[in-house]
Chains A and B, each alone.
Chain A
Amino acid sequence: MSEVTIKIDKKEIKAVEGESVLNVARANGIYIPAICFLKRTSASMACKLCMVEADGKRVYSCNAKVKEGMDIVTHTEEIEHDRRKIMEAYCVNHPLQCGVCDKSGECELQDNTMFQQVYEQFQAVQDTPRHISIWGSVKYDGALCIMCKRCITVCKEMVGDDALTTMARGGAEIDEEKYNKETMGKDPFGIWKAINKNLIDKKIPNPDSRENPCTDCGECAAVCPTGAMITKDFQYTSNAWELESIPSTCAHCSVGCHLYYEVKYESIGNNEKKIYRTKNDFHFQSICGAGRFGYDFENRARKDERTFKKAIEAFKEAKTIAFSSLITNEEALILQKLKEKYGYKLVNNEAKNYQNFLHEFSKTSGNSLYTGSVDELVSSNFFVSIGTSLKSDSPVLRYSLNNAVKMNKGAAIYFHPILDPLIDAMQKNILSVNHPAGKEEAVVYYLLDMFANKEALPQEIVSYLDSFKSETTETVEEVVKEKVTNKEGEEEVVEKTITKDVKKIVNRLYEEMGVYITDDKEKEIEKLIAKKDKYSLIVGEDVITHPRSKNIARLLGILEKTSLFKVVIVPPKTNSLGVALICDLDDSKEGYCVGYNAEGDFRLTASGATKENELDMPALNQQEGTFVNVSRRVVPLNPALDYKGFTLGDIANKLEIIFEYTVDLTEELPQEKGFKPICFDELGSGFEVSGFENRGYQIQPIETKTSESVEKIAHIDDIRGTVVYRCNPIKQFSAYTAKSTILASDPIPNGGWADNIYASEEFLVANKLSDGERVRLSSDGVQEELIVLKGEKIDGKIALVPNFLGSKLFSDTDYRFKDVTIERVDG
């Protein structure tokens, strides 16, 4: 992309070719009004407010691309007149209920009406009753809708659910003799006609099944410029201006999205702060349903001196500290310091597993970390995802992938053993390849075969890959048309069947992958890859927990080094990456154990102490600190709510590791791992108008020596029979999401409870089970009783076992697919 110079309102501006005029103007602080515009999606041209004059011609700046030497005027008398007319049209029949509307104070319709100084209306049309619907956690009120279609756009092009569509509104028609292009102007009239024609409706792709593609992320409500779409948890609880916005980071998964906690006093009699909602900068960052609705997981505990003393005793007695990855970098550093001082064993199997994976990866990639990030992902045009159920593991990565495929005219291949109806429905250019569980190693070899630069690959791998290929000759019958001169001297076309020997390469790698890839599919894949230049690879938890993870990590390292792929190895839990970078982890527990959000003889818990030997800790929305998210970015976490109890810092101070505030340790994070000596208060926490993310800083991979060799595909036992998959329901990640009462009252059955398993229809039929029955799952002598529910959005013969509150059947480090025996429990 080349750089061009354009003029906007006589100001010279440098921009990248292909960028929209509106984006360029906004990035440079020039205001052009627009309602339907969303920065990261295509222009829907529904509001037409963004019209400008480019070289004397009227264009819509959201859609017009910058060209060298363009001269743009954003305000002329005509344009101003038309903009005012459009706003007048929007105000006709818009209910005057700003007083009780939740959007009042942050409503773009209000803002633009004031900005265009609309004080009078000149048009009228008879109003029609419009439907009020409740879709999951979102309430839609058609009367307030101005048909900007932002919700439809964001759902299709960002989230990828494509769950919304338009419907005919019906009702009175506009009197076109009175109001027409001449009396109103072309654009305002067009807008007015459009808003009186349609309404938003939920899309039902298949009327036979009641299943709807919506995953209840609430992004449609976030982007709605008016109060037409409101999340039910927030409705009528507060006015926008009363809330204090605290920029922070979502604590639920490793994507670490930027969000704002919006807080206010709890009630008239109670001055304590309460989170009323979360908000996201929807132009730059989308968040999933867990982030949007699962915010009420704070710990309201007070100081309990007695238990605190017990905790100190426990620490003095302990040999091991077990902890989960739901902690900040600073806390991880405290634990590391405790280890250095007192020789504790630090046990976090899930992070250790991830750490090992990164370590093996760095041995062959030559970098201490992977080089991909969400930014890279969004700017890529070819994607491969392997070993992750994107919609549950990291929804926002799925959004980014969907968005990038759409906006960059990209393509993607989704390797996973489970069919995902959501992925299949996202974009045409996303191909699902369903390999049997356990074949990820072969899949990575396939990726090496397809994408690696053969010259850069080690010779042994090239010859190994070649060993799968054999040339065969096939006899193919073909019908050929031939021109023949017949007896009368005329030319005639005659069809002839001939047999031909065709040389064909048979790749036995497909057998190893357990996938039957036909010639057609091969061609399809070739088509997907054609003309792509920026590659991203998403690697998920299936691979990290795979029995052959060590070898796969090395293969991935080679893949990153020898191909165009930028790899993202998704950390399994919120701050697994931070913990993996900061802590020296041990393999197993020893002696008396203190557990921090983990099992132990004495427990520190952020989800509320219930027993004698438990001390309360602040939840992640009450803590100040940093995370390392999937983009290797050190992102700040600002406390939304006060915490009145003891923190890990208090314990550390008692144990003679002295500092005043936990965030004093932000500067001390290990620089040899790529952290920078920047103090917490200097970390940025948001996006600039141009979309530049100034949140924290990114850890750059450090070069390492490469040495290790790789192994061939090893045979692991087939996982067949009754296969279950460790996977949380959409919007559930951890004890925090489980604590959220808003998520618990979720209207979509998938947002669920820890003692359910979610089975596909096929699974229920195959095991002769029905919805709601109690079953006993057992594997390797471990048993667990659960209730089987028919889950939505699951295809194939599979059941999902959630472990967001832990699972007996699965530990965090077990391979996510398991062969189990399932039996009905009577009674």
Chain B
Amino acid sequence: MMEREGIKNYIEVDTRTRPVSRWQQFTQVVRRSVSIELLKGLKIVFGVWLKDESHTLIYPKEKLPLGPRYRAVHKLLRLVESGNERCIGCGLCEKICIAQCIRMETKIDEDKRKEVVDYSINLGRCIFCGYCAEVCPELAIVHGGRYENVSEQRAHYVLKDDMLTPIDLLKQQEEFPGYGAISPDADSKIKKTPLEY
């Protein structure tokens, strides 16, 4: 737990002397009534307000930054160079999914390549474990940072068109550093295959 300034992290033992006689009690009431301790608290509040040092997040205007390994609603990425879809329809995500919430439809396209026609994740079943992102050989399916879901139907978030980077926003697509991304020392772990040409 974070320790914030001004808060002591221990229990204070009350060592003040308590009024004993009736007279002592009377003088304490009078002293407290006429002193300015009431305003001391107000002074702190005004001070913080004026210095703009508030710890409160003004949600939804303000949001906490997310760690790279945060696992929210999935995204389907494109290849940055060509804009082509990264997903090749290998179906490993579908296979590994322990909640069995991924479905994909594939067919042979005009170029005789495997085309992913549609892709969906049933968010009602998804447990956001991240296996799909981890198993994906193309780094095509990743977890995004979108954790706010408001709609009448869960399905509204998880069809292929919703997850895929729009082609006009391709430049904003960032390389995913989280689950399944290549580790910085990946090169050193690779066993090289000999080549004859």
Chain A residues close to B by CB (< 8 Å)? 98-100, 104-105, 119-126, 172, 175, 235-239, 241-242, 265, 267-268
Contacts and interface: CB of A to CB of B under 8 A. Distances in A.
Nearest to B194: A124
B156 interface: no
Given A122-B194, A124-B196, A126-B196, A238 B118 contact: no
21 contacts: A98-B90, A99-B88, A100-B89, A100-B113, A100-B114, A120-B193, A121-B193, A124-B194, A124-B195, A124-B196, A172-B196, A175-B196, A236-B113, A236-B114, A237-B106, A238-B106, A239-B91, A242-B94, A267-B118, A268-B105, A268-B119
**Which 4 A-B residue pairings sit nearest by Cβ, starting from the closest?**
A99-B90, A239-B91, A124-B194, A236-B114
Contacts of A172: 196-197
Nearest to A179: B196
Nearest to A239: B91
B95 A241 contact: yes
A104 B137 CA distance: 14
Interface string B101-140: 0011111100001110011100000000000000001100
A125 B193 CA distance: 11
A228 to B, nearest CB: 15
B194 A236 contact: no
A154 B114 CA distance: 29
A239 B120 CA distance: 16
Interface string B80-108: 00000000111110110000000111111
Interface in B163-197: 191, 193-197
A268 B122 CA distance: 10
Nearest to B193: A121
Where chain A touches its partner, the secondary structure class is loop
Interface of B: 88-92, 94-95, 103-108, 113-115, 118-120, 137-138, 159, 191, 193-197
B34 to A, nearest CB: 76
A416 B65 CA distance: 83
Contacts of A98: 90
A268 B103 contact: yes
Contacts of A241: 91, 95
Contacts, number: 62
B88 A125 contact: no
A265 B115 contact: no
Nearest to B191: A120
Contacts of B104: 268
Given A99-B90, A242-B94, A268-B103, A236 B191 contact: no
Contacts of A99: 88-90, 92, 137-138
Contact of B91 (A126, A175, A242, A268): A242
Nearest to B137: A99
Contacts of A236: 89, 106-108, 113-115
A268 B118 contact: yes
A791 B194 CA distance: 53
B195 A239 contact: no
Nearest to A127: B197
Nearest to B95: A241
B125 to A, nearest CB: 14
Contacts of B106: 236-238
Contacts of A267: 105, 118
Given A100-B90, A175-B196, A239 B95 contact: yes
B141 to A, nearest CB: 13
Given A121-B194, A175-B196, A242-B91, 5 more contacts: A124-B193, A124-B195, A124-B196, A236-B113, A238-B106
B90 to A, nearest CB: 3
A123 B194 contact: yes
A122 B195 CA distance: 9
Contact of B196 (A104, A125, A265): A125
Nearest to B91: A239
Nearest to B115: A236
A103 to B, nearest CB: 12
Contacts of A123: 194
A241 B197 CA distance: 37
B66 to A, nearest CB: 29
A126 B197 CA distance: 6
A43 to B, nearest CB: 32
Nearest to A271: B103
A121 B120 CA distance: 38
Nearest to B106: A236
B109 to A, nearest CB: 8
A811 to B, nearest CB: 43
A175 to B, nearest CB: 7
B128 to A, nearest CB: 20
A220 B41 CA distance: 87
A120 B89 CA distance: 26
Nearest to A123: B194
Nearest to B136: A99
B129 to A, nearest CB: 19
B166 to A, nearest CB: 20
Contacts of A238: 106
A634 B191 CA distance: 56
A355 to B, nearest CB: 47
A119 to B, nearest CB: 7
A733 B93 CA distance: 41
Contacts of B94: 239, 242
A279 to B, nearest CB: 18
A100 B88 contact: yes
A237 B107 contact: yes
Contacts of B91: 239, 241-242
Contacts of B194: 121-124
Contacts of B137: 99
Contacts of A122: 194
B196 A119 contact: no
Select the residue from B94, B108, B137, B138 with max chain A CB neighbours within 10 A. Answer: B108
Nearest to B92: A99
A15 to B, nearest CB: 39
